[in-house]
């Protein structure tokens, strides 16, 4: 099926959010889409799906959208892969986008994959860079082979889609004086979409930040010695407003849930600061955090591989160093 | 009711760092090939569902003759039947092409009610094939399944992890496609009996001629909408570590905080 539409051509951004609060990656991609739109002389269209999400539509305009397609309905109150994909299909049909940028976050990537496959649109997933060639074709950089090889994906077809990791692009500043149009998007859910029902949602623990969107991550490995060993890590994270990360070993040992795991079989992160406490630095762990701006390693073993990717290293007992760091930061940052 | 697990033969994760860009796509990777680690969770879940709810288990893969090894390892863990899809015409397929080929073969497996996949392969890592299967089959799709709560003739009820949102309890009608996360179970090791069974089992091989529903424009090189280009090693990541020393933990903490403030990361 071709989605080529000569009359409607644009750059489309999928705005992902949690209960009406935009994920920053949505606006990071809006900033990139604005650049694409300006260089291709195409309007930037945003898709907002959810329930009672009209504020997001105006926010999308402030961040660079010229037009917002909004599917605001109780049917979209909870993420359902099929229903959300149906809205993205409708948006693609309406906007005829040349380029479609979608956050590589858990719900959005499913909607992207289902819509792209159904419409015969090529999709590059989990990209850490996107650009345009001189003909306006999308070039998408993504890691393969566990981040040990990078490839640039090239596309065939009018519409070209990428899911892009959080923190790949800077967050633009919103401009509340921008104007744009907000258009309700008509989406008819078919029999397939109604075969999926969300019965309950259990929210994450209060105040717990997700590692893939965090500016700062404090992570613990085998050196924390047990589940209670995460207490000083959590305290440091709290003072810094950081997320708590973990190595595979401690997740497999059941000391902390999988959502915290950084590395090849966990999350890939790119924070400004990563403080690795008692993590030796297996190659699979390094693959998930090597794009960090500043890495601090705290480890008893001065030969630990983590020091080979660290900006700063402290050889010592994390149970002495980490609480000292927390105290120092409390005093210096006034928290 | 059949549980169909889609598997892939991939390099051992310990050896991914040694894979050279020029060898990718040549069919001759200098690495030990294993059952994709993510697929072990899918195989294990099929076996556990069979234990909990009865039914039959099937593994399926698409690839060269060598890919038979992925099926053998699945059978060694306890899967009962296995099908290899192998044809030069499948080479060069992108994720949508692979999903199209797999879906056409799954359509031929009578009574298949639940397709189970891993999160992604450790080589291509796109994680797109599961969604592609759901689209090609016209079935519901649930990703990141952390637990199967219930299974009936009509429905499957699962816990799905959604980053930042929490855990959703989702119920979908069968037949359906699910991809599982590593929280779901702990894969068993192959048993001696299983390995023996795997070496004796017959593995039917299907080619494009056996799959009349295939659309030539939707698989293989000609059907690919995306192509890998410019394969390269990531920029070197080794840093020169500055070790921070001092007489006490407090001194070192203070010196480190000075640096982090100067670097504007806190």
Q: What confidence score (pLDDT) does residue A8 get?
A: 62
Domains of chain A as residue ranges with CATH: 10-195 (3.40.50.620), 211-333 (3.40.50.1220)
**Are A153 and B161 a contacting pair at CB < 8 A?**
no
Query: In a 3-state reduction of DSSP, which class is residue A205?
Result: coil
C-alpha distance from B89 to closest chain A C-alpha (Å): 19
Inter-residue contact B1 to B56 (CB < 8 Å): yes
Residue A1 has pLDDT above 80, yes or no: no
- Which 112-151 residues of chain B touch chain A by CB within 8 A? 122-128, 131-132, 134-136, 138-144, 146
C-alpha distance from A84 to closest chain B C-alpha (Å): 12
Residue A188 CB-density burial (10 A; 0-12 exposed, 13-18 middle, 19+ buried)? exposed
Q: What confidence score (pLDDT) does residue A88 get?
A: 98
- Kindly report, residue by residue over B241-250, the tens digit of the pLDDT: 999 999 999 9
Inter-residue contact A276 to A221 (CB < 8 Å): yes
Residue A5 has pLDDT above 50, yes or no: no
Q: β-pairing, A67-72 with A149-155?
A: unpaired
**Are B141 and A82 a contacting pair at CB < 8 A?**
yes
Q: What confidence score (pLDDT) does residue B236 get?
A: 75
* Rounded CA separation A198/B172 (Å): 9
With cut-offs at 50, 70 and 90, classify the pLDDT of residue B30.
confident
Inter-residue contact B41 to B118 (CB < 8 Å): yes
The answer to whether residue A121 neighbours chain B at the CB level (below 8 Å) is yes
Q: Which of A20, A117, A120 has the most B C-beta neighbours within 10 Å, making it the best mutation to test the interface with B?
A: A117
> ∠ CA A257-A284-A18 to the nearest 5 degrees?
45
Which residue among B124, B141, B266 sits closest to A114, beta carbon to beta carbon? B141
**Are A150 and B168 a contacting pair at CB < 8 A?**
no
Q: What confidence score (pLDDT) does residue A6 get?
A: 46
B215 CB neighbours in chain A (<8 A) are none
Residue A144 CB-density burial (10 A; 0-12 exposed, 13-18 middle, 19+ buried)? buried
Please provide the average confidence, as pLDDT, over all residues in chain B.
95
Inter-residue contact A324 to B253 (CB < 8 Å): yes
A164 CB neighbours in chain B (<8 A) are none
The answer to whether residue A113 neighbours chain B at the CB level (below 8 Å) is yes
Share of chain A above pLDDT 70, in %: 97
* Rounded CA separation A89/A188 (Å): 11
Residue A129 has pLDDT above 90, yes or no: yes
Please provide the average confidence, as pLDDT, over all residues in chain A.
94
- Kindly report, residue by residue over A143-193, the tens digit of the pLDDT: 999 888 999 999 999 999 999 999 999 999 999 999 999 999 999 999 999
**Are A294 and B241 a contacting pair at CB < 8 A?**
no
Measured N-to-C along each axis, helices B95-107 and A106-119 cross at an angle, to the nearest 10 degrees, of 80
Q: What is the DSSP letter of B101?
A: H
B167 CB neighbours in chain A (<8 A) are 201-202
Query: In a 3-state reduction of DSSP, which class is residue A141?
Result: strand
What value does the mean pLDDT take over residues B2-19? 93
Residue B24 has pLDDT above 80, yes or no: yes
What value does the mean pLDDT take over residues A316-325? 97
Residue A291 has pLDDT above 90, yes or no: no
- Kindly report, residue by residue over A61-79, the tens digit of the pLDDT: 999 999 999 999 999 999 9
C-alpha distance from B122 to closest chain A C-alpha (Å): 6
The answer to whether residue A153 neighbours chain B at the CB level (below 8 Å) is yes
B172 CB neighbours in chain A (<8 A) are 195-197
With cut-offs at 50, 70 and 90, classify the pLDDT of residue A204.
confident
* Rounded CA separation A15/A108 (Å): 9
* Rounded CA separation A167/A61 (Å): 20
**Contacts of A202 by beta carbon, 8 Å cutoff, 6+ apart:** B166, B167, B168, B169
Residue A333 has pLDDT above 90, yes or no: no
Q: What confidence score (pLDDT) does residue A180 get?
A: 97
Q: What confidence score (pLDDT) does residue A7 get?
A: 47
What value does the mean pLDDT take over residues B199-214? 97
Q: What confidence score (pLDDT) does residue A4 get?
A: 44
- Kindly report, residue by residue over B137-165, the tens digit of the pLDDT: 999 999 999 999 999 999 999 999 998 88
With cut-offs at 50, 70 and 90, classify the pLDDT of residue A206.
low
A126-135, A255-264, B11-20, B74-83: segment of lowest average pLDDT: B11-20
Share of chain B above pLDDT 90, in %: 88
What value does the mean pLDDT take over residues A42-54? 97
What value does the mean pLDDT take over residues B207-224? 96
Residue B28 has pLDDT above 50, yes or no: yes
- State ipTM: 0.95
- What's CA B49's distance to the chain center, in Å? 18
Report the predicted TM-score, pTM, of the whole model to 2 decimal places: 0.92
Residue found under tokens 């717990």: A208
CATH class of the domain defined by B2-223: alpha beta
Tell me the backbone φ, ψ of residue A167, rounded to 5 degrees.
70, 20
């Amino acid at each position: 099926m071709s989605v080529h539409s000569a009359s409607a051509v644009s750059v489309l951004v999928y705005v992902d959010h949690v209960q009406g609060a935009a994920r920053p990656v949505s606006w990071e991609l809006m900033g990139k889409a604005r650049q694409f739109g300006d260089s291709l002389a195409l309007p930037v269209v945003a898709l907002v799906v959810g329930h009672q999400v009209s504020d997001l539509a105006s926010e999308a305009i402030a961040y660079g959208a010229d037009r917002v397609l909004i599917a605001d309905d109780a049917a979209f109150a909870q993420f359902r892969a099929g229903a959300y994909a149906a809205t993205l299909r409708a948006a693609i049909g309406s906007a005829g986008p040349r380029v479609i940028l979608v956050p590589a976050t858990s719900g959005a990537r499913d909607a992207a994959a289902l819509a792209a496959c159904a419409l015969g649109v090529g999709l590059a997933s989990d990209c850490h860079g996107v650009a345009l060639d001189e003909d306006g074709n999308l070039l998408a950089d993504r890691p393969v082979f566990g981040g040990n090889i990078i490839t640039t994906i090239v596309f065939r077809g009018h519409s070209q889609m990428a899911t892009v990791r959080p923190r790949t692009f800077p967050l633009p500043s919103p401009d509340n004086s921008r104007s744009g149009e907000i258009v309700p998007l008509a989406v008819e859910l078919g029999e397939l979409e109604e075969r999926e029902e969300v019965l309950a949602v259990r929210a994450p623990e209060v105040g717990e930040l997700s590692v893939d969107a965090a500016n700062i991550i404090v992570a613990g490995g085998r050196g924390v010695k047990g589940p209670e060993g995460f207490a000083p890590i959590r305290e440091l994270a709290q003072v810094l407003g950081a997320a708590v990360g973990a190595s595979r070993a401690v997740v497999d040992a059941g000391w902390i849930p999988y959502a915290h795991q950084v590395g090849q079989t966990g999350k890939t992160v790119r924070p400004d600061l990563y403080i690795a406490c008692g993590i030796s630095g297996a190659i699979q762990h390094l693959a998930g955090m090597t794009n960090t701006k500043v890495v601090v390693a705290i480890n008893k073993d001065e030969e630990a591989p983590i020091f080979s990717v660290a900006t700063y290293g402290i050889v010592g007992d994390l149970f002495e160093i980490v609480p000292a760091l927390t105290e120092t930061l409390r005093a210096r940052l006034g928290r | 009711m059949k549980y169909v697990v889609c598997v892939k033969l991939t390099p051992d994760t310990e050896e991914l760092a040694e894979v050279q860009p020029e060898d990718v796509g040549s069919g001759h990777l200098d690495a030990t090939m294993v059952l994709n680690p993510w697929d072990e969770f899918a195989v294990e879940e099929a076996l556990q569902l069979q234990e909990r709810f009865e039914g039959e288990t099937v593994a399926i893969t698409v690839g060269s003759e060598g890919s038979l090894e992925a099926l053998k390892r699945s059978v060694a863990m306890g899967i009962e039947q296995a099908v290899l899809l192998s044809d030069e015409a499948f080479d060069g397929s992108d994720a949508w092409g692979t999903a199209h080929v797999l879906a056409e073969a799954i359509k031929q497996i009578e009574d298949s009610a639940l397709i189970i996949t891993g999160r992604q392969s450790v080589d291509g890592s796109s994680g797109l094939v599961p969604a592609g299967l759901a689209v090609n089959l016209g079935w519901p799709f649930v990703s990141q399944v952390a637990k199967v709560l219930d299974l009936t003739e009509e429905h499957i009820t699962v816990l799905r992890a959604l980053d930042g949102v929490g855990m959703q309890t989702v119920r979908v009608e069968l037949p359906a496609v699910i991809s599982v996360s590593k929280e779901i179970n702990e894969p068993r090791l192959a048993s001696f009996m299983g390995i023996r069974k795997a070496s004796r089992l017959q593995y039917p091989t299907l080619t494009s001629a056996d799959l009349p529903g295939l659309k030539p424009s939707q698989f293989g090189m000609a059907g690919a909408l995306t192509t890998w280009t410019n394969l390269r090693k990531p920029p070197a990541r080794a840093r020169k570590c500055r070790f921070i020393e001092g007489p006490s933990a407090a001194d070192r903490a203070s010196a480190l905080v000075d640096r982090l403030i100067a670097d504007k990361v806190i």
